[in-house]
């Protein structure tokens, strides 16, 4: 039963579970770029079907590749910690990455890999239909606003196709450079206010037909 939340989900959405499963299967069997050759598991993403907030990181790391789940390493722990500070957990959001397979030695994804994988994220955005996309790091942000630096853009929400895009540093950046952690904490603290703002802007919109909440995972 209900735990206290800092804000309520904006609305319930129509959701085609079969469409999500089909996408999931396409990703786990994908060989569209060379990252498929070194992966243990593709990491499509996971979270709530009713997520109003989608987090988009860069790509899977060692633990994510091993288990096929996003953000379960040290950066994931920091993400969970930040979510908990604003009263959220993974069940409230959807989490994915720009590329679904681990780049060798955690190197940056190459342009051709980002390009090959982009249709999967586009489809996830279409299916989940978040109201806020939190870009974790520069690769994620550059999908929506190419050519801008994350250090200048972070913490300021932008409109993109009717969605608020909210850039912040990738949690892994704070692990490498602890001086960045206060900035990430500050940007997380401002997230509930952003959701509330979006909520206010949409409260008069008609409610779509309700569907029962369901948690999506790699086991779907
Ligand atoms: S990174 Fe994306 S495009 Fe490349 S093989 Fe994996 S799922 Fe396919």
| Per-residue pLDDT tens digits for 85-94 | 999 999 999 9
CATH of the domain at 73: 3.40.470.10
* pTM tops 0.85, yes or no: yes
Q: Is 114 touching ligand 1 by the criterion CB < 6 Å?
A: no
Query: Rounded CA gap, 69 and 41, in Å?
Result: 9
Give mean pLDDT, residues 134-140.
96
- What CA–CA distances, in Å, run from 181 to 77, 110, 176, 189? 13, 27, 10, 12
46-48 and 163-168 strand pairing: unpaired
Residue 9 reports pLDDT greater than 90: no
Q: Is 27 touching ligand 1 by the criterion CB < 6 Å?
A: yes
Between 10-14, 51-55, 178-182, the lowest mean confidence (pLDDT) is in: 10-14
* Structural domain for 103, as ranges: 17-201
Computed over every residue of the chain, the mean pLDDT equals 88
Residue 64 falls inside a structural domain: yes
Residue 34 falls inside a structural domain: yes
pLDDT band for position 206 (cuts 50, 70, 90): low
Q: Is 113 touching ligand 1 by the criterion CB < 6 Å?
A: yes
Ligand 1 pocket: which of 100, 107, 143 to mutate (most atoms <8 Å of CB)? 100
Domain count, the chain: 1
Residue 3 falls inside a structural domain: no
Between 12-21, 87-96, 97-106, 172-181, the lowest mean confidence (pLDDT) is in: 12-21
Residue 110 reports pLDDT greater than 90: yes
Q: Is 98 touching ligand 1 by the criterion CB < 6 Å?
A: no
Q: Which atom of ligand 1 is nearest to the CA of 30?
A: 8
Give mean pLDDT, residues 149-161.
95
- What CA–CA distances, in Å, run from 11 to 7, 82, 210? 12, 24, 9
| Per-residue pLDDT tens digits for 51-76 | 999 999 999 999 999 999 999 999 99
**pLDDT at residue number 34:** 97
* DSSP H or E segment with residue 172: helix 171-176
Number of helices (H) and strands (E) in the chain: give both, helices first: 9, 7
Residue 217 falls inside a structural domain: no
Q: Which atom of ligand 1 is nearest to the CA of 113?
A: 4
């Amino acid at each position: 039963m209900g735990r206290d939340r800092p804000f309520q989900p904006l609305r319930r959405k129509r959701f085609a579970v079969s469409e999500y499963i089909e996408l999931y299967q396409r990703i786990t069997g994908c060989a569209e770029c060379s990252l498929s050759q070194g992966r243990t598991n593709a990491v499509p993403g996971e979270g709530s079907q009713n997520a109003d907030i989608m987090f988009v990181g860069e790509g899977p790391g060692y633990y994510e590749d091993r288990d096929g789940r996003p953000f379960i390493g040290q950066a994931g722990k920091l993400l969970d910690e930040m979510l908990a500070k604003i009263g959220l957990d993974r069940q409230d959001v959807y989490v994915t990455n720009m590329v679904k397979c681990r780049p060798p030695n955690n190197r940056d994804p190459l342009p051709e890999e980002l390009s090959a994988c982009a249709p999967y994220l586009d489809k996830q955005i279409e299916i989940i239909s978040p109201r806020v996309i939190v870009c974790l790091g520069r690769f994620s942000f550059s999908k929506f606003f190419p050519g801008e630096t994350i250090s200048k853009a972070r913490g300021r929400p932008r409109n993109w196709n009717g969605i608020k895009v909210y850039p912040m540093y990738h949690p892994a950046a704070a692990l490498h450079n602890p001086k960045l952690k206060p900035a990430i904490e500050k940007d997380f603290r401002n997230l509930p206010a952003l959701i509330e703002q979006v909520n206010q802007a949409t409260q008069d919109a008609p409610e779509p037909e309700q569907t029962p909440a369901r948690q999506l995972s790699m086991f779907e």
